[in-house]
Structure 1
Amino acid sequence: MKIVHLLPGLEVGGVETHVVDLASEQARSGHRVTVVSGGGRMVSQLHPDVTHITMAVHRKNPITGAICAVKLAWMARSKGWDVLHAHSRVPAWIAWWTSTISGVPFIVTCHGIYSLNAGLTPYRHADGAICVSKAVMDHQRDWLPTRTAVIKNGIPDPGVRWSPKEGGPFRFLFVGRLTKVKGIDFLISAFLPMANRQDWVLDIAGEGPLEEELREKVASAGLGDRISFLGYRDDVAELLSKSHCCLFPSRSEGAGLVLLTALAVGTPVIASDLPAFRETLDDRSLIPMEASVWTDRLANAIDHPDSPQPTSPPRSIHDMAVEVGEFYVTK
């Protein structure tokens, strides 16, 4: 099957990781796979048999989008593409226009809790929609086509297991974009009342627009020796294996690939009480977004360290790719 994925870029993030993993698994299974994006550092992580086309499918400009659609429609006809698979809102518009011109069906995956507005119009016109969680499907239901399915994310085997270092401070970990949606600003505020305790550290792996503001906040609180900004990391599973607890203070979430990786590694987690997280975690790991509650829970995690909680292992990338492939051909 000739499959084409469209997404804004391949810098860093959950959607980007999902597409890299899915496209690479499809290529390993014998499909001819192309990824169209604005480019980025994760292009190099695609399987060698995946073709990458750099194109401005991230720009919110109708003229640019139309030009991209015409180019892609020509490629679709000349190369005999079987399906277009869009992974964000702007690429969904371009996939819709490309499909209209070329006749190639297009599928969308809904990865997050999107704002419900006219920007989602292409989703209604898709030949099918995949939602990464029931929470996403319930939220966006009125903007989805008749043929819609929940297909849970799969992840590669992380290759490591939870083995935190004995002795030393309790090590918390946050992995994600440094944005308000991911709640990193809230998390640092929750740590401030614990400034007098010397028995913890927080590692922050990720980049984003809040980084400078957060660094200043940490420095002004005198916590520069305990809260470390690691920047982008491609060894997330290794970081998880060496941490005592991974934190997910998201204000909104579609599914959470890092959460699934943490569970696969066996790392204990604390997460905000969101519908998407409720599909994966039980009440012991979920707490409301109240700073005092988080501070108390963080302190309790230090004083009473958890063992990894028994959970069903996350599904494999192969199983997810098979289900996606079946969705492509089901009418």
Structure 2
Amino acid sequence: MTTRHLSVVQLVPALESGGAERSTLEIGRALVEAGHTSIVVSAGGRLVEQLVREGSRHIELPIGRKSLKTLTLVPRLRAILAETKADIVHARSRLPAWLGWHALRGLGPPRPHFVTTVHGLNSPGWYSGIMARSDRIICVSNLVRDHVLRHYRGTNPSRLVLIPRGVDAAEFPFGHQPEDEWRTRFFEEFPQLDGAPLLTLPARGTRLKGHTDAIELLADLKVRGVDARLLLLGAREPGREAYVEELESLARNFNVDQHVVITPPRDDVREVMAVSTLILQLSTQRESFGRTVIEALSLCRPVLGYAHGGVGELLTDLYPAGRVPPGDRARLAERAAELMRAAPAIQPLTRYRLADMQEATLQLYGELASQPRRRRSDR
């Protein structure tokens, strides 16, 4: 890792929630701890307070607003890059990447180095192609790397860097169990979850996250004589009322509604996972990574998930017993019953740790900063 002081500007639409936003804070914290300058440009959000508390500087600019007027922010962003003497500009989303790219084009040499992270499987096309026009393209999984190479054939593979997201072992410690007081409060709040093994699906309230599959799984276990409870953690969100009603109706139709709880997002995800018998990851579409998989395994909790996308990669590498073919309802119930009865042992993580992700990213920054900053082509 370089010993030279770096000024790194990360570009992200907003700082409300999500994997890219969490990674932004984690890299900002690592930069500060290493003695570098960390700046984040975004429209703001609830995570700004934490970002600033951890030593980064936040500059509010609505660089994620999908409007032609957003292009008028390029001069302001260019001034920010000049004022902060940026060595690295790191964009984590497509529209901020376009603004960053245009801002860099207007800077005289030496220009900052440009880095992008492809966090998801963006729709192929001209608009998404900006993520492949940087000096280095961070891919969060092999699936993402293959996606970039397949759809942007002019991309030099040497510019792609695989840096999986990582889990903080201090936040999700191996074998963690919540205090008795928390456990008592939780089951008093949700008495219908008490008295049987708890299956938890932590995911936003969108159809692709597999909530329907989870309810069907609970019903299938009931038919098999396996008693269980189901928590759809985080699915009850503003604007998703109709979807939640559909899920509640489905649970009633299967006669399992008394054993299903649907909650809004909560801050005690670690504790909920820790008291769960099984963590579910049933996204019906391929996920680019699957952070809840490594969070659960970091806590020493078994994971059951569909073997496709980034989730399939993680399960193959870390917990093969938890893999099920996507959409195979019978196999899903069979494997769930097996894991509930006798789950294979889980070892402490030696990969996919937060420190690994932070170290690899800062090392990349240092390697780029050590190279001459010359006028680059517009790719």
TM-score above 0.5, yes or no: yes
Classify 1:52/1:231 alpha carbon distance in 2 versus 1 (closer, same or farther; 3 Å): same
Percent identity, aligned pairs only, is 26
Structure 1 window deviating more from structure 2 (196-205 vs 74-83): it is: 196-205
Classify 1:314/1:236 alpha carbon distance in 2 versus 1 (closer, same or farther; 3 Å): farther
CA distance in 1: counterparts of 2:323 and 2:86, whole angstroms = 44
Partner of 2:365: 328
CA distance in 2: counterparts of 1:273 and 1:220, whole angstroms = 25
State the TM-score, normalized to the length of structure 2.
0.78
- Residue 210 of structure 1 deviates from its aligned partner by 4.4
For the Cα contact (< 8 Å) 1:162–1:267, is it kept in 2?
Answer: no
1:226 to 259, 274, 284: 259
Partner of 1:76: 81
Partner of 1:104: 112
State the aligned residue count: 328
Residue identity in the other structure for 1:297: R
> Which 5+ residue runs of structure 1 have no aligned equivalent?
none
Residue identity in the other structure for 1:261: E
Classify 1:294/1:129 alpha carbon distance in 2 versus 1 (closer, same or farther; 3 Å): same
Q: Name the SS of the counterpart of 2:117 in structure 1.
A: strand
After TM superposition, which residue ranges in structure 1, 4 or more long, deviate above 6 angstroms?
none
For the Cα contact (< 8 Å) 2:218–2:228, is it kept in 1?
Answer: no
Partner of 1:115: 123
Instruction: Deviation per CA, 1:277-329: give whole Å up to 9, x if none.
Output: 34322332111122333233334444x14254336434432332221122124
CA distance in 2: counterparts of 1:20 and 1:194, whole angstroms = 40
2:286 to 246, 252, 255: 252
Residue identity in the other structure for 1:150: L
CA distance in 2: counterparts of 1:125 and 1:234, whole angstroms = 37
CA distance in 1: counterparts of 2:345 and 2:269, whole angstroms = 17
CA distance in 2: counterparts of 1:267 and 1:211, whole angstroms = 30
Partner of 2:67: 61
Classify 1:56/1:229 alpha carbon distance in 2 versus 1 (closer, same or farther; 3 Å): same
Partner of 2:162: 150
Partner of 2:374: none
State the TM-score, normalized to the length of structure 1.
0.89
CA distance in 2: counterparts of 1:13 and 1:111, whole angstroms = 10
Partner of 2:202: 175
CA distance in 1: counterparts of 2:113 and 2:102, whole angstroms = 11
Q: Name the SS of the counterpart of 2:258 in structure 1.
A: coil
Partner of 1:41: 46
Classify 1:135/1:206 alpha carbon distance in 2 versus 1 (closer, same or farther; 3 Å): same
Classify 1:185/1:9 alpha carbon distance in 2 versus 1 (closer, same or farther; 3 Å): farther
CA distance in 2: counterparts of 1:255 and 1:174, whole angstroms = 16
Structure 1 window deviating more from structure 2 (181-190 vs 5-14): it is: 181-190
- Residue 71 of structure 1 deviates from its aligned partner by 0.8
CA distance in 2: counterparts of 1:220 and 1:277, whole angstroms = 26
RMSD of equivalent CA atoms: 2.5
For the Cα contact (< 8 Å) 2:305–2:312, is it kept in 1?
Answer: no
Alignment of 1:174-323 (within 5 A): 174-194=201-221, 199-207=227-235, 208=237, 210=240, 212-219=242-249, 221-222=251-252, 223-250=256-283, 251-282=285-316, 283-290=320-327, 291-302=329-340, 304-310=341-347, 312-323=349-360
Residue identity in the other structure for 2:325: P
Partner of 1:138: 146
CA distance in 1: counterparts of 2:250 and 2:161, whole angstroms = 48
Structure 1 window deviating more from structure 2 (139-148 vs 254-263): it is: 139-148
- Whichever of the two has the greater Rg, that structure is 2
- Residue 37 of structure 1 deviates from its aligned partner by 1.8
